[in-house]
Amino acid sequence: MDNDKRTSRESDSRKANMQKTSWTPPSSLDAPPAPQGFAHRWIRTSVAGFDDTANVTKKLREGWEFVRAEEIKNSPDIHKYPIVKQGQYEGCIGIGGLVLARIPEEILKARAEYFRSITQDQINAVDNDLMKEQRPKCRSILIGKVELPLVVEVIKTNFLEISTHE
């Protein structure tokens, strides 16, 4: 009979609604979501088995604080995050010489603005040096955020005119 070869409409619609699932390997650096107003980052505490106290001290001075496991104990996914079992960082979330740290977003934004300003100053210095090489008689000076042109020949000419009239 013909009924054996037919499929039900229900199974056809189920196949159409099913999405293809993909698998990705788990990341060993998964971290719990940061609380409102904070950002998380992994801080290096050791390299090749040696403590990296200089890096840790620098990060702590910048305002980073280590995230302790008890701070996220209310999270339903706490078992997903590796916890340091011994040593100086015992009780912190960490793995393989890295410890999770957090910082207020306002400090992070201020830090980013500081480095953006330094970068812009360096770009301006390079641009001014390039301009000096391209046009040695026409230079500009940066005062605050305003760039003023300086024409060396005009200044020399005006100075010579003033000094000859006296």
Same domain assignment for residues 83 and 60? yes
Does residue 11 form part of some domain? no
Q: What are the pLDDT digits (tens) for 81-115?
A: 888 888 888 888 888 889 999 999 999 999 999 99
CA-wise closest residue to 42 among 67, 75, 78, 61: 67
pLDDT for 26 beyond 80: no
Residue range 121-138: mean pLDDT, rounded: 73
Of 107, 129, 153, the residue that ends a domain is: 107
Q: Which two tokens stand for residue 40?
A: 């998380």
Q: Which two tokens stand for residue 91?
A: 């009780």
Domain count, the chain: 2
Report pLDDT for 104. 94
Report pLDDT for 166. 47
Contact of 43 with 56, CB cutoff 8 Å: yes
Report pLDDT for 101. 94
Same domain assignment for residues 46 and 66? yes
- Structural domain that includes position 74: 30-107
In the chain, the amino acid numbered 85 is: K
Report pLDDT for 102. 93
Reported pTM: 0.58
pLDDT > 70 fraction of the chain, expressed in percent and rounded: 63
Same domain assignment for residues 56 and 95? yes
- pLDDT averaged over every residue in the chain: 76
Q: What are the pLDDT digits (tens) for 37-92?
A: 999 999 999 898 888 899 999 999 999 999 988 887 666 666 678 888 888 888 88
CA distance to 62, 120, 124, per residue, from 117 (Å):
17, 5, 11
